[in-house]
Amino acid sequence: MTTADAPLSSVRSPARQPRDPDDAGSSGPARPGPPKSRSTKPGPSKQDGHRVRPPLRHRLKRDRALLLFCLPGVLYFVLFFYLPLAGNVVAFQDYQPFLGFKDSPFVGLANFTALLAEPDFWSAVSNTLQITVIQLLLYFPAPIALALLLNSLISEKVKRFIQTIVYLPHFLSWVVVVAMFKQVLGGAGSVTTLLMEHGVSIGNVMTNPDTFKLLITAQAIWKDCGWGTIIFLASIASIDMGQYESAAMDGAGWLRRIWHITLPGIRPVILMLLILRLGDILSVGFEQIMLQRDAVGSDAAEVMDTYVYYHGVVDGDWGMSTAAGLMKGVIGFALILAANKLAHRFGEQGVYR
């Protein structure tokens, strides 16, 4: 009997595969799809083409380790930086400590008017700006230059040894640093005595008002220059070494490699630190200058920070000193905004977008 003569019941039809509901209108057997995931972890879902964020409690549970790690730093800034901002109300009051913020009389802008008419205030502003300009010209480029020199060393052992040496002064207090400079450059210091034995008299550098601004800049360079190289060395390490190899094959010397590869590679970091430094343009080191103010006199050493201290804490003029501190903060904040905007105009990222 042939196949054509076989009964219909003996001819088996292929098994019908279940169709996907989405393919109900299509013809032909349905294709098996990928296995469905049975994960129960909460994750971002999509709704109307947009990614939906998970609930807040899920995010807090997911990031609890990171949040606990950041909690001490957040509390530090809240307690010592943000909460004290409420004390700026003293700048608009005739503040008396025994009356408190609530009962001290409100005087409006009288403290600012009296501050701008104070000759000592403008002398402090002038000294502060002079020191800031000198430090921007001498102190700010010093860590960059030292980082470039350290990066040029071939031996890793020598590089680490020098790094350890130049980092150490950062951990010394200003009391120790000023005492060391006095033993070297003071009236009976070792360098002063040695030069006098050879017929060269430089006098007492530590009490000379004319060289005081250069002196404190030199102290800042000696103390913090090595520590400042850390971020620049990290930025240099992120530059692709293939660029240096290609430049060397093209005949570029070490100076051209620094100018065309290294400096452009660390330019965003340099601009970011420069912007942050402009925010502290009226802060030039309270403790360092406070320790040497009496030796050179207030005419050369009075800056904004010492002015606020002596007029507020010592003389008890809380309102005027708070007004001076508030003006310093507002000017620094405005300079950060302006410098960051200028960086955006030149195509750099700046501190924030």
pLDDT score for 4: 42
CA atoms within a 13 Å half-sphere pointing along the CA-CB vector of 333: 6
Spatial contact of 136 and 322, defined as CB atoms under 8 Å apart? no
Give the span between the Cα atoms of 291 and 209, in whole angstroms.
Answer: 14
pLDDT tens, residue by residue, 225-262: 999 999 999 999 889 888 888 888 888 888 888 898 99
Residue 71, burial from CB neighbour count under 10 angstroms (0-12, 13-18, 19+): exposed
Sorting pLDDT into bands at 50, 70 and 90, what band is 177? very high
Give the span between the Cα atoms of 251 and 255, in whole angstroms.
Answer: 11
**Residues of the chain above pLDDT 70, percent:** 86
Strand ranges (E), 269-351: none
Give the span between the Cα atoms of 183 and 309, in whole angstroms.
Answer: 28
Asked whether residue 5 carries a pLDDT value surpassing 70, the answer given is no
Residue with tokens 């105009």: 345
Nearest 5°: phi and psi at 110?
-65, -35
**Residues of the chain above pLDDT 90, percent:** 33
Quick one: DSSP state of residue 95? -
**pTM strictly above 0.85:** no
Residue with tokens 């360098």: 191
Among left, alpha and beta (phi > 0; psi -120 to 50; other), residue 316 is: left
More reliable by pLDDT, 9 or 150:
150
CA atoms within a 13 Å half-sphere pointing along the CA-CB vector of 23: 12
Asked whether residue 21 carries a pLDDT value surpassing 60, the answer given is no
Nearest to 124 by CA among 278, 286, 276: 286
